[in-house]
Amino acid sequence: EAGVTQFPSHSVIEKGQTVTLRCDPISGHDNLYWYRRVMGKEIKFLLHFVKESKQDESGMPNNRFLAERTGGTYSTLKVQPAELEDSGVYFCASSQASIKNTEAFFGQGTRLTVV
């Protein structure tokens, strides 16, 4: 069974440009999450999808970030325009519907560098 897949693995863009990160969750997982780790600090929650609906987007830093999950399958996270402080590793995770025993499976992450 394929795990959570993220594209690209690395991205280097200039300040002001646009970047789109993609996440393919494990098949059948309704829950999809985005997290970010900046400069070796803690991994911080960005948002949570249940199927195609945003369940919790309390961690989104500002309106330059737009997450979508059309059709409840893969998700994209667009940063427009990118700023230097957006650099970091963006993780995607997915999990099944049950709450108590839910294990979140993480992808390898996308390392974003804004120069």
Partner 1 sequence: AQSVTQLDSQVPVFEEAPVELRCNYSSSVSVYLFWYVQYPNQGLQLLLKYLSGSTLVKGINGFEAEFNKSQTSFHLRKPSVHISDTAEYFCAVRRMDSSYKLIFGSGTRLLVRP
How many residues interact with partner 1 (rule CB under 8 A)? 29
113 counts as binding partner 1 under rule CB under 8 A: no
Does 107 sit near partner 1 (CB under 8 A)?
yes
Q: Is 75 in the site for partner 1 (CB under 8 A)?
A: no
Site for partner 1 in 34-63 (CB under 8 A): 35, 40-45, 48, 55-56, 59
Least distance from partner 1 to the Cβ atom of residue 43, Å:
4
Contacts of residues 1-7 at CB distance under 8 Å and 24 or more positions apart, as own/partner, are 1/26, 1/27, 2/26, 2/27, 3/105, 3/107, 4/92, 4/93, 4/94, 4/105, 4/106, 4/107, 5/107, 6/90, 6/91, 6/92, 6/107, 6/108, 6/109, 6/110, 7/110
Q: Using CB under 8 A as the criterion, which residues of the chain lie in contact with partner 1 when the complex forms?
A: 3-4, 31, 33, 35, 40-45, 48, 55-56, 59, 91, 93, 95, 99-109
